[in-house]
Structure 1
Amino acid sequence: MQFGLTFEKLLLIGLIAVLIVGPERLPRMAEGFARVVRRAGEYLRDTRSRVREEMGPEIDDVDWRKLDPRQYDPRRIIRDALLEDPKPVSPAAASAIAEPAPRRAPAEFSAANLPPFDAEAT
């Protein structure tokens, strides 16, 4: 079972609930619990059918285990990235990297030439 709950623990919780609720209110509580469980099941079925409608037939082709974030090890991702062959760079991109853009001289600000001002940022 999930959350470390075993059958014995659930049985003990049920027994304590019966003792606390009492025999008079127990049938109403059981009906209410059954109603909640039924609504939860309907909600899950509706959600599943809605996802299937919105994603279409390709939802059956999705490998959900591949999308599980628990399978990703950061060390493996970094190792794969470091061992990966570098992608070839186009000649235009290589020349842009080799030749940095020329630097402009900083603007001289004065009373006539004010620096830029953003009224929303202050």
Structure 2
Amino acid sequence: MFGLTFEKVLIIGVIAAFLIGPDKLPHYTAQLARLVRSLRDMANGAKDRMRDEMGPEFDDLDWKKLDPRQYDPRRIIREALTEDDPAVTAAATEAAVITRSPNPEGAYLQRKRAKDAALAASEPAPFDSEAT
């Protein structure tokens, strides 16, 4: 939860208790409890409304399948383009990733070097007289 540990929350609570003071502290804690309760009720209401609108398949829905963090676009495209068995393709991809060594220079430097070599080998740099 935002990198907050129990110790940090405890320190924040102690500082808040000193700043608010003992006379107003019960009032503010009651307000915080009401806020948390209303947020929980709103979340439950939204879940109930989804269940009502989606019908019985809402309970059968596997929410982990819909998590976008589990999808790798490269794997999806690779599987769509190949006619092979996805399990064989995934195993071959993992083996290729393990055996492939990292590129010491990035793609930008490779493109720049290729562009400079093509420019130096063929013709002078392009010049637009209307642009200046």
Fold in common (TM above 0.5) = yes
CA RMSD across the alignment:
1.3
Aligned to 1:26: 25
Aligned to 1:113: none
- Unpaired stretches in structure 1, ≥5 consecutive residues: 86-122
Aligned to 1:77: 76
Q: How far apart are residue 84 of structure 1 and its match?
A: 3.1
Instruction: Give matches, 1:49-64, under 5 Å.
Output: 49-64=48-63
Higher alpha-carbon deviation: 49-58 or 74-83: 74-83
Divergent runs of 4+, >3 A: none
Aligned to 1:67: 66
SS in structure 2 of the partner of residue 3 of structure 1: coil
Aligned to 2:13: 14
- Alignment deviations for residues 15-72 of structure 1 (CA, whole Å, 9 cap, x no partner): 1111111111111111111110111111111111111111111111111111110001
User: How many positions carry a matched residue from both structures?
Assistant: 84
Instruction: Give matches, 1:34-49, under 5 Å.
Output: 34-49=33-48
Q: Which amino acid aligns with 1:49?
A: D
Instruction: Give matches, 1:90-109, under 5 Å.
Output: none
Q: Which amino acid aligns with 2:22?
A: P
Q: Which amino acid aligns with 2:20?
A: V
Distance in 2, Cα, partners of 1:23 & 1:78: 61
Q: How far apart are residue 5 of structure 1 and its match?
A: 1.5
- Unpaired stretches in structure 2, ≥5 consecutive residues: 85-132
SS in structure 1 of the partner of residue 22 of structure 2: coil
Hey, which of these two has a bigger chunk of helix by percent? 2
Larger relative contact order (Cα-Cα within 8 Å, sequence gap ≥ 6): 2
